[in-house]
Amino acid sequence: MTEQLQPNETDIAALAATVRAPEALHERVREMVDAAATGESARTPRMWGAPSLRVAGAMASVAALAVAVALALTLTGTSGTPPIEQAMALTLKPSAMAAPSESKLDRAHLNAAVEGVAFPYWGGRVGWHSTGLRVDRIGGRSVTTVFYANTADRRIGYAIVSGPAWATHGGDVMWRDGVPYRLLARDGASVVAWPRGGHLCVLSGRGVSAAELLRLASSDGKRVLAT
């Protein structure tokens, strides 16, 4: 049984407060409120400043509609491309900054992290050395990507998205230690997407098997043995 990560109630409330719906929707909202107010009987007693139940009901519908629109806009991204697709594309781009080094305090990780979730160190016997880094934004979220390469000149990108993990769809799901790893493909590259520390992680590479990516991804920052 596959598991899909969904935005929580806090995320939805935040989206409703920060994303503006299209103007056509706002016009429709105004029409709903006007219709509710003018349709009220003149004989109905009202307290000064207290909205009628009909207007209150219309406003509740408006609020729910605004939340739905905000959520849809955020999950599809401003370009119309789903955010998971945008995150996968970033792992195939070139690096823009120097590679992070191995942490001297925790030899299983690099000196790079996203909101407490550190990138793994895969050098030494594992054979994947960090070669670069880039930071981008998708729908108001920062996405940090660390790139690795092996002695065969194969390259992989490991992205961690800030904020709660987005939902993922498609491909096949493999479970490791209770964690769902979704195996996908994009532009000739193998891709693995999974939740880690409450964040979405994406690992991809061309010329690298899905099995190898899954092996690395499921190490979860622990040292992995070279194949």
Q: What is the CATH number of the domain that holds 169?
A: 3.40.1000
The reply to whether 114 and 181 lie within a common domain is yes
The Cα 68–Cα 66 span in angstroms is 5
Task: Decide if 182 is inside a domain.
Answer: yes
The reply to whether 102 and 210 lie within a common domain is yes
The Cα 54–Cα 120 span in angstroms is 56
The reply to whether 96 and 154 lie within a common domain is yes
The reply to whether 55 and 104 lie within a common domain is no
pLDDT of residue 154: 97
pLDDT tens digits along 74-96: 333 445 788 999 999 999 999 99
The reply to whether 32 and 123 lie within a common domain is no
Q: Give yes or no for residue 30 having a pLDDT over 70.
A: no
Query: Closest by alpha carbon to 208, among 177, 223, 186?
Result: 186
Structural domain span for residue 20: 9-76
Q: Which two tokens stand for residue 58?
A: 């219309």
The reply to whether 71 and 170 lie within a common domain is no
Query: Closest by alpha carbon to 115, among 140, 134, 143?
Result: 143
**CA–CA distance from 149 to each of 47, 95, 138, 205 (Å)?**
71, 12, 25, 10
What confidence category does residue 129 fall into, taking pLDDT thresholds of 50, 70 and 90?
A: very high
The reply to whether 59 and 113 lie within a common domain is no
What confidence category does residue 211 fall into, taking pLDDT thresholds of 50, 70 and 90?
A: very high
Structural domains of the chain, count? 2
